[in-house]
Chain A
Amino acid sequence: MSIDMSQFHQVFFEECFEGLEAMESGLLSLDIGDIDPEAINTIFRAAHSIKGGSGTFGFTVVAEYTHIMETLLDEMRDGRRQVTKQAVDVLLGSVDCLREMLTSIQNEEEVNAQSVAQHQAALETELNGESSAANSPSSAPAISQPASPVESPEEDEEPEIEEEQGWKISFCPYLNLLKTGNDPVRLFRELSALGKLTSNVNIQDVPPFNELDPEECNISWDLVLVSDASESAVREIFSWVEEDCELELSPLAKPKKKKKPKAAAPAPIAPPVVAEAKDVAEPVAPPPATVVKKAPTEAEAAKNAPKASSSIRVDTDKIDTLINMVGEVVITQSMLGLIGENFTMDKVGQLKRGLAQLERHTRDLQQSVMNIRMLPISFVFSRFPRLVHDISTKLNKKITLKLVGENTEVDKAVVELINDPLVHLIRNSLDHGIEMPAERIAAGKPETGTIELKAYHRGGHIVIEIIDDGRGMDKSKLLAKAIEKGLVEESAIMTDKQILELIFMPGFSTAEQLSDISGRGVGMDVVRRNIQSLGGNIDIISELGKGSTIAIHLPLTLAILDGQSVAVGDETYIVPLVSIIESINITEKMLNKVAGKGETFKLRNEYLPIIRMREIFNVKSGAATKPNEGVIVVVEGQGALCGFLVDELLGQQQVVIKSLEANYRRVEGVSGATILGDGSVALILDVPGLVRLSVC
């Protein structure tokens, strides 16, 4: 068994990306002119560990590139170099470049040498340029580095492929090799496919003919393979027989490794393989990682294939809680088992208590399991300082970004899906919301605009607000634009809220001119659709001249829902608890007919439409049809209140959301299904959808 370095690659990449994020946020928070040495140190450390790691794993391109960054940072750290805005920008560019490199290495693609070379050149100019200490010892190795970064991987390997590159293999099968169905001839055939193979047979162990067992293998081989195949490729061939033989591998010519200045230090070159190759059963020194990367065997390639599998970092505390919970459940289970063994009726009370305990524990357990999936929203928020920095520079605006509530936790799936809509909204705020500095001063506002990104929990939801103090939205302009585009009738009477909602219509944009940042009028409709598909909604409040607030409400998790089960006829449906305002019994007097057909009822001075579930779902079984015999569940969907007429309220419970579309298809008015305690299926109502369905 050799140590397969590629198994650690995933972790390495994750750490690298984390390091890059740390560098990025460190660079952004650098205050030019008043440098906090600790901030530089943080950036330096991140760069250093990326360099070390990539050296260890043989990603020399990355290691060498990072080395130059490190040199630059080192000088800044020692105060030998001024931290300029230009230097910070170059370093930020390098962070991007590194991220690109790592991504392509991760995907086993070619590193884009051109862009690397560009960034590296920029870095070197910065380093050599107005450097205050150009001849300082630490910058020397970087300058001595060959300017072209492309050479690195190839040149490092070339010495290994020098003539007489190959392996000396000593192959001593145990007696039982043939009995396991392995034929050495096949192994040799495979080996000869890799290169030129010469073999020497040792027959000194062969017994006299009369003692010979034809099923035993008494011979061993000394093989010489002239080939540029990697050690792992050779070992791969023997992988079926490694339990049944003694195998020694030694390189023909000791590969000459170019000693790299500095970068080599954290990247110990694997010792010559022969040293540890005495016994195959023993762990063998990892093959030089460059080789692994360059020529991954098929098996390795297959192992690396499922990259899509995402991992999650979980706080140890959360896991400890979980383990505690499981312990509790096990104890309760054994207690219940004890009661069940000799059950008599007088133990009913005990049983009930036990079951109640089990219920509580199960719920807690569920909670802690769900907690594992929860990530702080800072996973999304942390990217925005950079975005704001870049775009505001581009637009010549002065903008500060304020992040509030970054530690608010939300389900991983939500975190992943909310990023794109948020990027879009923030770009909009940057581009359309915040005015140019001159315009701001003229309006009596501080020169620097503020965008606040705020996250907090409310009820079962997480609310994310994007607040800017920009120019706000001009409602009359919005309306005029909508009429011009034919999206609304000229005579339409609309509330302020409805006018603001116009920006969610497809093809709507008020920007006078397109920019590459925003203004094409695709987007806001997509944003809203994405958020709705997550089960959330989006609201806008805007005041002309004062700024806008966009609030996104999202469910905390997409997997579990608090539901109210209701009976309609013989059927059971689940209404999401978050959308229920209240449930009431009504009397005939509260009912009104609209145009003799639609029904409304009056709830505290407001007329709400009634949706008869029985009719909208064509339920034939059961009895109650009169509103006053059933229960009205007042729900909120799409900002509108509405009453669902159901026969009975059954109970509240947490339900696991199952997709109806996985095997079936989308059904109007139903957002999913769940399995009830008795194993039957109940449908979960899509409240906004139903409200829409009933209105149309």
Chain B
Amino acid sequence: MSEKNENEIEAIEGETGAKKNADTSTIIQYLSFVLGKEEYGVDILRVQEIRSWEPVSRVPNVPFYEKGVVNLRGAIVPIIDLRERFSLSKPEYTPLTVVVVLQTGSGSHTRIMGVVVDSVSDVISIERTDIQSAPDFGTKVSNEFINGLVSVNERMVMLLDVDKLLLLEVLEQNDY
């Protein structure tokens, strides 16, 4: 799936589209991406844009997976490497590495944050009823950030809770 395509879909799905989706239909669209050998999904309405990796400015004395901050059109945006966060694959940074810029709205204040993933794979439409709750894997990634599981073409996709994922304070507590 090309980057351009993603953006088009995003453009069509405006804020109002989102509300309608939630209220009237049970179909939710997710953007799926690959971390190591596993596939994850985030609510597509939370995706602001998809960018290629560019060098970040390191921020001192923060957990290793918080790579630093970049300048996103004048805003200072932190970049988190999900691969390192979940210890899933070797963090390699090539021009093909992808950063998914996500937004989270806690109250009136929205925050944006970039997460580094291996590659973006698809936009998937999921019936609400098809989402299964995640079993407890006993790992720290497990239930905390995962809203549920869904099966797409025989592949299992884990649906991430963006709000919880981006609460850095929570991330930190788990780490220390």
Contacts and interface: CB of A to CB of B under 8 A. Distances in A.
Interface of A: 571-572, 616-619, 658-660, 662-665, 667-670, 673, 675, 679-683
A78 B112 CA distance: 66
Nearest to A664: B78
Interface in B103-155: 111-113
Contact of A683 (B57, B70, B71, B74): B57
B95 interface: no
Given A658-B75, A663-B75, A681-B68, 11 more contacts: A572-B57, A617-B61, A659-B76, A662-B75, A663-B78, A663-B112, A664-B77, A669-B60, A675-B71, A679-B71, A683-B59
B78 A619 contact: no
A660 B68 CA distance: 11
Contact of A680 (B57, B78, B168): B57
B69 A664 contact: yes
Nearest to A672: B76
A120 B70 CA distance: 61
Nearest to A675: B71
Interface residues of B, number: 22
10 contacts: A571-B58, A660-B76, A662-B75, A664-B77, A664-B78, A667-B59, A670-B59, A673-B69, A680-B57, A683-B57
A673 B61 CA distance: 15
Interface string B36-72: 0000000000000000000111111110000011110
A122 to B, nearest CB: 43
A204 B142 CA distance: 77
A662 B60 contact: no
Interface in B71-100: 71, 74-78
A675 B74 contact: yes
A663 B61 contact: no
Given A675-B74, A681-B70, A667 B57 contact: no
A675 B70 CA distance: 9
Contacts of B77: 663-664
A617 B112 CA distance: 25
Contacts of B71: 675, 679-681
Contacts, number: 66
Nearest to B78: A664
B78 A616 contact: no
B169 interface: yes
A660 B111 CA distance: 11
Contacts of B56: 681
A683 B112 CA distance: 18
A662 B104 CA distance: 12
Nearest to A681: B57
Interface of B: 55-62, 68-71, 74-78, 111-113, 168-169
B111 A667 contact: no
A665 B113 contact: no
Most chain B Cβ neighbours within 10 Å, of A660, A664, A680: A664
Contacts of B55: 680
Contacts of B69: 660, 664, 673, 681
Contacts of B169: 665
Nearest to B110: A663
Contacts of A668: 61
B75 A667 contact: no
A675 B55 CA distance: 14
Kindly list the 7 A-B residue pairs having the minimum CB-CB distance in the complex, ordered from nearest.
A617-B60, A681-B57, A664-B78, A673-B76, A663-B111, A675-B71, A658-B76
A407 B94 CA distance: 57
A664 B77 CA distance: 7
Most chain A Cβ neighbours within 10 Å, of B60, B77, B113: B60
Given A664-B69, A664-B168, A618 B60 contact: yes
Nearest to A679: B71
A63 B168 CA distance: 55
A662 B57 contact: no
A683 B56 CA distance: 12
Nearest to A658: B76
A613 to B, nearest CB: 9
Nearest to B169: A665
Contacts of B62: 667
Contacts of A673: 57, 69, 76
